[in-house]
């Protein structure tokens, strides 16, 4: 598997003239020193990792650890203060104007926690709208919207208004809007956090099912470790604006690199969260059936 996204030493500082505080950080000033002395907030600091093509890469961490700041750097909703973000080998940090617009329309799509849909348009119009902005011909828009809605389980819901839909259904619309442009990379910022637990589990499974068909590269943010381990092929754990461990759920569970992570994983029920365990038990069941073993 090859790295489709390479994040190299990315730092994002909020406030005027952000590069003016880089030296202070390099000299060892803490985030709170910087906030007190200059009023700048360090969103993420010196983050590096790669995301492989076709994997679900989860960024996990507590609130305020820098997850949203980082994912927003991946489509330049946040402009990194320093560092490079290579996508298919090209540094996107220098993108602006038409090049940035093309990148956002063709390469990446974002799914937000609060669905990001237009409340005064029908389900289908919501999906068509994104395609219209991109300049897709009218006949093709409708066809693509219908196909994408079917992919996310919304066949027959095309004419409904968002106000008639539950949270789970609204997030399916959000997902359809993002998928309709056929992006290589799907960025998902706490997409299921606003849903109640039952619907949340249903949507997690829906995402895994969609992913098994479409094989997108997905960067998924969550503060929920169970969700991270259930969905992630690999997981990056963030703390205070930095990534403190990256690995498969199995690696993080078995070899936590930091007492902070040890604390996080100590109460995890491995049999429930690890995808590898689930896949293994499914394939063992298949072997048993094919061999006639009960």
What are the phi and psi torsion angles at 194 (to 5°)? -90, 0
Q: Which is nearer to ligand ADP, 66 or 232 (CB)?
A: 66
What are the residues whose beta carbons fall under 8 Å from the beta carbon of 152, sequence distance 6 or more?
A: 172, 173, 175, 176, 179, 206, 210
Q: Which is nearer to ligand ADP, 14 or 112 (CB)?
A: 14
- The minimum distance between CB 58 and ligand ADP, in angstroms, equals 13
Q: Which is nearer to ligand ADP, 40 or 230 (CB)?
A: 40
Of 8, 14, 49, 142, the residue at the interface with ligand ADP (CB under 6 A) is 14
Q: Which is nearer to ligand ADP, 9 or 143 (CB)?
A: 9
Q: What is d(CA 9, CA 12) in angstroms, rounded to the nearest whole number?
A: 10
- The minimum distance between CB 39 and ligand ADP, in angstroms, equals 10
Q: Which is nearer to ligand ADP, 43 or 130 (CB)?
A: 43
Structure tokens at 153: 């389980």
Q: Which is nearer to ligand ADP, 149 or 231 (CB)?
A: 231
Q: What is d(CA 77, CA 71) in angstroms, rounded to the nearest whole number?
A: 9
In angstroms, how far is the first alpha carbon of the chain from the final one? 37
Q: Which is nearer to ligand ADP, 62 or 214 (CB)?
A: 62
Strands (E), the chain: 3-14, 41-52, 56-61, 82-87, 90-91, 108-111, 185-189, 217-222, 234-239, 242-247
Q: Which is nearer to ligand ADP, 189 or 233 (CB)?
A: 189
Count of residues interacting with ligand ADP (CB under 6 A): 11
Q: Looking only at residues 51 through 90 of this chain, which bind ligand ADP when binding is defined by CB under 6 A? A: 61, 63-69
Strand 108-111 and strand 90-91: pairing?
unpaired
- The minimum distance between CB 155 and ligand ADP, in angstroms, equals 34
Q: What burial class does residue 262 get, using C-beta atoms within 10 Å of its C-beta: 0-12 exposed, 13-18 middle, 19+ buried?
A: exposed
- The minimum distance between CB 145 and ligand ADP, in angstroms, equals 31
Q: What is d(CA 13, CA 230) in angstroms, rounded to the nearest whole number?
A: 32
Q: Looking only at residues 29 through 58 of this chain, which bind ligand ADP when binding is defined by CB under 6 A? A: 41, 43
**Which whole-number Å values give the CA distances from 249 to 174, 202, 268, 270, 281, in the listed order?**
27, 21, 11, 10, 17
- 41-52 sheet: strands from edge to edge: 41-52, 3-14, 82-87, 90-91
Torsion, Cα of 258, 52, 218, 201 (10° steps): -60
235, β-bridge pairs: 58, 247
- The minimum distance between CB 15 and ligand ADP, in angstroms, equals 7
The continuous run of DSSP H or E covering 211 comes out as helix 197-214
- The minimum distance between CB 226 and ligand ADP, in angstroms, equals 17
222 sits near ligand ADP (criterion: CB under 6 A): no
- The minimum distance between CB 94 and ligand ADP, in angstroms, equals 21
- The minimum distance between CB 46 and ligand ADP, in angstroms, equals 14
Residues that bind ligand ADP (CB under 6 A): 14, 41, 43, 61, 63-69
């Amino acid at each position: 598997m090859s790295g489709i996204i390479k994040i190299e030493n990315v730092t994002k500082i909020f406030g005027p003239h952000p590069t003016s505080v880089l030296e202070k950080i390099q000299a060892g000033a803490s985030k709170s020193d910087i906030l007190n002395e200059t009023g700048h907030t360090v969103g993420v600091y010196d983050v590096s990792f790669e995301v492989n093509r076709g994997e679900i890469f989860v960024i996990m961490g507590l609130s305020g650890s820098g997850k949203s700041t980082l994912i927003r750097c991946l489509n330049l909703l946040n402009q990194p203060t320093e560092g490079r973000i290579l996508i298919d080998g090209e540094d996107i940090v220098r993108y602006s104007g038409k090049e940035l617009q093309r990148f956002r329309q063709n390469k990446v799509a974002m799914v937000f926690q609060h669905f990001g849909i237009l409340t005064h348009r029908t389900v289908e119009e919501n999906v068509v709208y994104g395609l219209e902005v991109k300049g897709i011909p009218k006949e093709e828009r409708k066809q693509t919207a219908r196909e994408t809605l079917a992919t996310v389980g919304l066949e027959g819901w095309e004419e409904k208004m968002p106000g008639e839909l539950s949270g789970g259904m609204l997030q399916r619309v959000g997902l359809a809007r993002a998928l309709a442009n056929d992006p290589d990379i799907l960025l998902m910022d706490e997409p299921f956090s606003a849903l109640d637990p039952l619907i949340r589990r249903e949507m997690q499974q829906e995402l895994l099912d969609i992913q098994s068909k479409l094989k997108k590269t997905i960067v998924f943010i969550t503060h929920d470790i169970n969700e991270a381990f259930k969905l992630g092929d690999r997981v990056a754990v963030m703390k205070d604006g930095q990534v403190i461990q990256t690995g498969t759920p199995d690696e993080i569970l078995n070899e936590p690199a930091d007492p902070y992570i040890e604390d996080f994983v100590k109460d995890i029920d491995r049999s429930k969260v690890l995808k590898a365990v689930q896949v293994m038990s499914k394939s063992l069941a298949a072997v048993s059936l094919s061999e006639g073993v009960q």
